[in-house]
Amino acid sequence: MVQPGLARRPDVTELRQTYDRAGSTAPAQVMDAVTLLAGLYLAISPWIVGFTGFGGLTVNNLIVGLVVTALALSCASAFGRTYGVSWVTPVLGVWAIIAPWVIRGQPATTATIWNNVVTGAIIFLFGLGALAFAANYRQHEHGRRRGVGAPGGEW
């Protein structure tokens, strides 16, 4: 959380604006949209694929899917304020991949494994892509500002 005194600092405001510009570009919006859809699918996948009898995995997919959806939505709407937690999305993608083997209960079926591996891989890749895109955009913006000779130098 940003303290009121820090909110007035120009470098914090400039950093947020840089990330907001990064999040408002078309590639970033596509990555956020695909991540959001993958999160929604993961949340409802037990009912689509038909493994609601797997209590632990069903609850896991519902919760993880809803968290991924919320993260993607928050990154799409205010990336300047949420980029700090955007690293969680790829981690949740990895968790979705390994969940059928880690969560105790009924043995995972081929359908549950494929469902979680493919959906988790999509969440992981697009979440990682969004992180890389933001880092690259920040570096590009920072380099461009320095090249112009803007005051402030290094961050």
pTM for the complete prediction? Answer: 0.73
C-alpha gyration radius of the chain = 19
Domain spans, the chain: 25-77, 89-100+111-142
Other C-beta atoms closer than 10 Å to the C-beta of 47 total 12
What is the distance, to the nearest Å, from the Cα of residue 5 to the centroid of all Cα atoms in its chain? Answer: 29
Interacting residues of 122 by C-beta distance below 8 A, sequence separation 6+? 34, 35, 38, 93
Q: What is the pLDDT of residues 36-95, one digit of tens each?
A: 999 999 999 999 998 878 889 999 999 999 999 999 988 877 766 676 788 899 999 999
By CB atoms closer than 10 A (0-12, 13-18, 19+), residue 37 is middle
Q: Which residues contact 97 (CB under 8 A, 6 or more apart)?
A: 116, 117, 120, 121, 124
Task: Identify the residue with better confidence: 46 or 25.
Answer: 46
* Tokens 């359908």, located at residue: 111
* 14 exposure class (CB count in 10 Å sphere: 0-12, 13-18, 19+): middle
